[in-house]
Structure 1
Amino acid sequence: MVHLRELDPSASPLDYFGSELRRKREGAALSQAELGSVIYCTGSLVGQIETARKVPTREFAERVDAALMTDGFFTRLVGLVLRSQLPTWFQPYAEMEAKATHISTYQAQLVYGLLQTEAYAREVLATGLPGNLGDLVAARMERQRILRRPEPPVTIVVLDEAVLHRPIGGPDVMREQLAHLLSLRDRRWTQIQVLPFAAGQHSSLVGSFNMLRFPEHPDIVYTEDLISGHMTASPEILREAALRYAAVQAAALSVEESAALIAQVMEERYGQQP
């Protein structure tokens, strides 16, 4: 059994989750091992989460809610816990992304985070050599839940064709990722276009950027550099970004043509026909 230590519930969402888990478990007169047996995990894992040494998964939270009859408390809380595992500089953007009603993005290097498969995300995040890779992957997967809401944001994604050819993680990972992009054609509120190599020079050669729209807040533009991200609501920058995005989107293939190109690259480059 993990040695119990006192947590400050106000220190972080993870500490609050652990403190409340211990309190609810003890209130139910269950040991860590007993709770673990009910939710199909080890008592050691329960102890690690109670002491904020391990980040809970959404599945863990859902099982705890069912076992302790906590009316979805831990399931609601786990989203905040997972978001807190994102890099500190990225968390403000993730919070705004979750509130947006419209997301427009041009991606020159990688598949947009909201559209990444777990395997692709793991390979991308591993390039930073983090010590908490599993937690970062879980946090990225958690971000994607906004696309599965009853009223998801309208999400318009333009991917440079280079994104399709860059073999992140190898053929198996790329086949799965490109198949996932094709599967998103069935989602009415998500639109994917590819900016082909044939477009040549275009209005965003400077790199990737995102634009977010909100019902009650100013629009924002988000960009990243080597070590951090930057958000701005400057009207001048918003106008410039909107103009550049319109030009990129106009130069991109249609949704149908883009899907055909994704399928072609998937077959020819990664060896499997969707």
Structure 2
Amino acid sequence: MTHINVLDPGASPLDYFGFELRRHREAAGLTQRQLGDILNYTGSLVGQIETARKLPTQEFSERADTALETGGLLSRLVELVMRSQLPAWFRQVAELEARAEEICTFHMGMVHGLLQTPEYVRAVLGALDDTDLEDRTAVRLARQRIFEKPKPPVFWLVLSEAALHQKIGDPEIMRGQLAHLNSFENNPRINVQVLPYSAGAHAGLTGSFNLYRFSSDPTIVYTEGYGSGHPTANPETVKDCSLRYDHLRAAALSLKDSADLIRRVMEDRYGEQLA
């Protein structure tokens, strides 16, 4: 209880979430165990979240909002909590993703984070470090909630064929990831094109990059290095990368042919058996 009493709601979004959860729980006259029983979680987990020692999930937040009649406060706060847990250098990118009307991305080695499955995320993040893996996975997946907004961004992914063959995790994880890519086949707001090996030399050989477009703000180009991100609104850079992206999209397979190639790789490389 000592930790709860000294919790500073201004220390971080996670601390503020814990403070508000405790405040509303006590106002409802519930113990941590009683609230846990109502939410179908343990009282211990409630206590860990209240003391900022555990990240709340979206599901936990929604259940707590309903049980405590908070008017959706915790569900709104959890988005800030998740964003605050991203690496400091990446937080600006998450904000760009949340504000953009259109996101155009070219990826060479793996699937873009906004379209990764939970299992694929765990395999990527756990490659060298599996500490706090579940929390780190939840933080990355929380970025995908931008597609649940009333007006989600239009998302274009040009993905190198190499990313389909780069086995991340086991074959089952890859089958699930490739099937997830094809689940957007009839979604006009999420578009996946594969840049095939047969394209040869192409406009993206210098590396992966993102373009974030807005209704009134300048377009932002984002590139990434190890432990660092490089966003820029420099007009010449934006012009160059926009032209590169147009050429990449033109060299890539059509949406339908891309989906067909993804299905073939699922069969041939990862043993997926289609009905």
For normalisation by structure 1, the TM-score amounts to 0.97
Give the superposition deviation at 1:4.
3.2
Runs of 4 or more off by more than 4 Å in structure 1? none
Secondary structure at the counterpart of residue 224 of structure 1: strand
Q: 2: CA distance between counterparts of 1:61 and 1:85?
A: 16
AA partner of residue 176 (structure 1): G
Partner of 2:195: 195
Partner of 1:73: 73
Q: Percent identity?
A: 55
Secondary structure at the counterpart of residue 186 of structure 1: coil
AA partner of residue 171 (structure 2): P
Does 2:208 align with 1:208?
yes
Within 5 A, what are the aligned runs for 1:150-161? 150-161=150-161
Q: 1: CA distance between counterparts of 2:201 and 2:216?
A: 36
Q: 1: CA distance between counterparts of 2:132 and 2:11?
A: 19
Does 2:103 align with 1:107?
no
Deviations 1:198-251 (A, max 9, x none): 111111111100000011211100110112111000001001101111111111
Within 5 A, what are the aligned runs for 1:87-106? 87-106=87-106
Deviations 1:147-170 (A, max 9, x none): 232321111100000000001001
AA partner of residue 181 (structure 1): L
Give the superposition deviation at 1:5.
4.0
Secondary structure at the counterpart of residue 268 of structure 2: helix
Partner of 2:141: 141
Which stretch has the larger CA shift, 129-138 or 208-217? Answer: 129-138
Which stretch has the larger CA shift, 118-127 or 156-165? Answer: 118-127
Q: 2: CA distance between counterparts of 1:58 and 1:190?
A: 23
Q: 2: CA distance between counterparts of 1:108 and 1:93?
A: 19
Unaligned segments of structure 2, at least 5 residues: none
Aligned-residue CA RMSD in angstroms? 1.3
In 2, are the aligned partners of 1:82 and 1:135 still within 8 Å (CA)? no
Partner of 1:63: 63
Does 2:252 align with 1:252?
yes
Secondary structure at the counterpart of residue 105 of structure 1: strand
AA partner of residue 266 (structure 1): M
Unaligned segments of structure 1, at least 5 residues: none
Partner of 1:54: 54
Partner of 2:40: 40
For normalisation by structure 2, the TM-score amounts to 0.97
AA partner of residue 20 (structure 1): E
